[in-house]
Amino acid sequence: MQKIKNNKMKDFTLNSYEKLLRKIGPRDCTLLHYLKNNDSEYIIRHDVDKSLGNALKMAMIESQYEIKSSYYFRVKPNLFNKNIINKIYNLGHEIGYHYEVMDKAKGDLISAKKLFGEEWPLFKEWNSKTVAMHGNPLTSYNNLDFWKNNKLSDYDVKGEAYLSVDFDTIKYFTDTGRGWNTSVSFKDKGNKVLIKVYSTNDLIEYINKTEDRYYIMTHPQYWSDNLIIWIKIKFLESIKNIIKRIIKNKLKH
Ligand SMILES: [Zn+2]
């Protein structure tokens, strides 16, 4: 298999992710740990939108560095794979529910409520306590709107990845759109101030020179060491980003 050399041009490889993990060092970076203790320096969250294999690879690498993080899974036929989820759970990571009930119910709150009530209990198997909304850029619904009419405690949810975090006290870095804090990551932006870093190396440098708390959010599907797959992802994401920009502009006007 052809491997990509890790330099500034070839970012978003498992190799570059490993560099970041080396900087972070052994610790519990789960959202649950952040919610329970007030001492978390890092939250690492992964939204598994697709590519379960990549999620497992990331989970294995993290466990080599004795790092625990949170993985959020969608309830979709090819993505809700108990075998893979079990493996990630057994490595010591937190498993959570990546809900998209407003999208699935096309904005209908009653159906969304029903769906949440059906899907969330599936995660009991992994003792899940937290959830993270899926931000589909191609729909006009916002899954966070579910909480305008529902309470986390109604479903015994201990935390939501956006609503339960104090973004004034932690710096948020997301790879949405396959770049760090790009302008296309708008659905999950909220009121957060996104610091611009241009590469994973830049992010590491930023962490080195600041004393802060960091919330790092990734989509495992963007991170690949295989050259052909890496080029394919880069190409597809550039097209997707163009579409997202068009939608964003439409919403603005
Ligand atoms: Zn998602």
pLDDT per residue, tens digit, the chain (253 aa), is 444 444 445 789 999 999 999 999 999 999 999 999 978 999 999 999 998 999 999 999 999 999 999 999 999 999 999 999 999 999 999 999 999 999 999 999 999 999 999 999 999 999 999 999 999 878 889 999 999 999 999 999 999 999 999 999 999 999 988 889 886 665 666 667 788 898 999 999 999 999 999 999 999 999 987 766 767 767 777 777 777 777 777 665 5
User: Going along 63-211, which residue ranges are E strands?
Assistant: 67-68, 70-73, 94-99, 130-133, 159-160, 171-174
Helix, strand, or coil (residue 174):
strand
For 30, other C-beta atoms within 10 Å of its C-beta total 26
For 143, other C-beta atoms within 10 Å of its C-beta total 26
Give the separation between CA 171 and CA 211, rounded to whole angstroms.
Answer: 11
- C-alpha of residue 44 to centroid of ligand 1, in Å: 15
- C-alpha of residue 134 to centroid of ligand 1, in Å: 4
- C-alpha of residue 98 to centroid of ligand 1, in Å: 7
Say if residues 37 and 27 touch (Cβ distance below 8 Å): no
- C-alpha of residue 225 to centroid of ligand 1, in Å: 22
For 221-235, what is the HEC assignment?
HHCCCEHHHHHHHHH
User: Cα torsion for 28, 34, 37, 41, to the nearest 10°?
Assistant: 70
- C-alpha of residue 206 to centroid of ligand 1, in Å: 26
Helix, strand, or coil (residue 49):
coil
Residues whose CB falls within 8 Å of the CB of residue 61, separated by 6 or more in sequence, listed in order: 14, 17, 18, 21
- C-alpha of residue 209 to centroid of ligand 1, in Å: 30
The helix (H) or strand (E) run that includes residue 45 is strand 42-48
Angle at 127 between CA 217 and CA 106, to 5 degrees: 60
Residues with CB under 5 A from ligand 1 (ion): 47, 49, 134
Residues whose CB falls within 8 Å of the CB of residue 104, separated by 6 or more in sequence, listed in order: 111, 112, 115
Is the pTM higher than 0.85? The answer reads yes
- C-alpha of residue 36 to centroid of ligand 1, in Å: 24
